[in-house]
Amino acid sequence: MDDCRIEIDGEDFTAECEEITFATKRLVYEEDNGRSRMAFLGPAGFQLTLINPTDRARALVDDGAATRSVRIICSGNSITHPTRFLKEWTTTDGTRKVFGALAWDSDRDAKWVNEPQLAEA
């Protein structure tokens, strides 16, 4: 996206990579009721890939430890997401990539919690 800009934590990172790719994909959950398969559309996620990032952009990768505010501006529109930079790799053709995704909230993830009153019943 040639006409796109990217800001990370309020700083312009547009020149810190050759290309920015992003998407707001939705997860699809499948269930099998024994006769057929059903699909349920889940919440929108966010993914961001910086193509051939500079050392400054590569330094953002921390396996998702820090949450950063990412704003992408394209053609007069913008989208802002809390993002965690998870991985960096080099493809077989030598293209370097940095991947970020919508930050999860470990306090609100679907997870089992201890319910002492149920254990006592």
Question: What percent of the chain has a predicted confidence (pLDDT) above 90?
Answer: 65
pLDDT tens digits for range 17-70 = 999 999 988 888 999 988 999 999 888 889 999 999 999 999 999 999 999 999
Which helix (H) or strand (E) is 118 found in, with range? helix 116-120
pLDDT band at 109 (very low <50, low <70, confident <90, very high): low
Report the C-alpha gap between 102 and 99 in whole angstroms.
Answer: 11
Mean pLDDT is lowest, of 75-79, 99-103, 116-120, for: 116-120
Q: Which of 45, 42, 38, 51 is nearest to 97 (CA)?
A: 51
Going by C-alpha positions, the residue among 26, 22, 53, 57 that lies closest to residue 39 is 26
pLDDT at 119: 57
Per the CB < 8 A criterion, the answer to whether 86 and 65 are in contact is: no
Q: For residue 53, what pLDDT is reported?
A: 97
Q: How far is CA 107 from the centre of its chain?
A: 18
Residue 1 CB contacts under 8 Å (≥ 6 apart), including other chains: 19, 20, 21, 22, 74
